[in-house]
Amino acid sequence: MKHTSYPPPGEDMDRNLTSLFVMKLIVDRAATLYMARADCPVTSAQGRVIMYLEKQAPRCVPQHELEAFMGVSHATVKGLVTRLEEKGYVRTAFDGEDGRVKNVYLTEAVQRDKEKVRSLLQKIERQVMKGFSAQDKKNMRRMLEKMYENIS
């Protein structure tokens, strides 16, 4: 796949680029790599929702918890969940104890594709982190979490 966004691989990045912009370039490029896979049935954001729900199972997950996990608005999560429902991967139901809370559940249909999604997300993570030592990865994760805390 031809890389068409700035900066082209191998060229020095403009030293005036902010760290945030470089992080955005990385995330955008990773999303492009993910979506280039014709056999992947969901977007990378939908994949992260599926992986989060799987990790939380069998506990029911309120939709507002997905908003907090993804760091996005109610409308964004509602759209993600709606599209996953249309694909048959999740179902939603209002909570029996608090009717204001909408819970999200994985369906059996997701079983056939979740490994494909997990594998692709892991492959891209490995590609992004190629050449970093285990300690580098640990330090980077710590620094990224600190950056996130600084703006939360």
What sign for the dihedral angle of Cα 137, 130, 45, 118? negative
The CATH code of domain 19-126 reads: 1.10.10.10
Q: How far is CA 79 from CA 37, 73, 74, 105, in A?
A: 22, 10, 9, 15
Query: Nearest 5°: phi and psi at 90?
Result: -135, 165
Structure tokens at 55: 């990790």
Q: DSSP labels for 64-83?
A: HHHHHHHT--HHHHHHHHHH
Q: List, in sequence order, every residue forming a beta bridge with 91; answer none if it has no partner.
A: 105
Which of these, 50, 40, 41, 39, lies nearest to 81 by C-alpha position?
50
pLDDT of residue 152: 79
The model's pTM is: 0.72
Identity of the amino acid at 133: S
Cis peptide before 7 (omega within 30 of 0): yes
Q: What is the pLDDT along the chain (152 residues), one digit of tens a residue?
A: 444 455 555 555 555 678 888 888 888 888 888 778 767 788 888 988 998 999 998 888 999 999 999 989 999 999 999 999 999 999 999 988 888 889 999 998 888 888 888 888 888 889 989 999 999 999 999 999 999 889 87
Q: What pLDDT shows up at residue 67?
A: 93
Give the residues across from 102 on adjacent strands: 94
Per-residue model confidence (pLDDT) at position 5 = 52
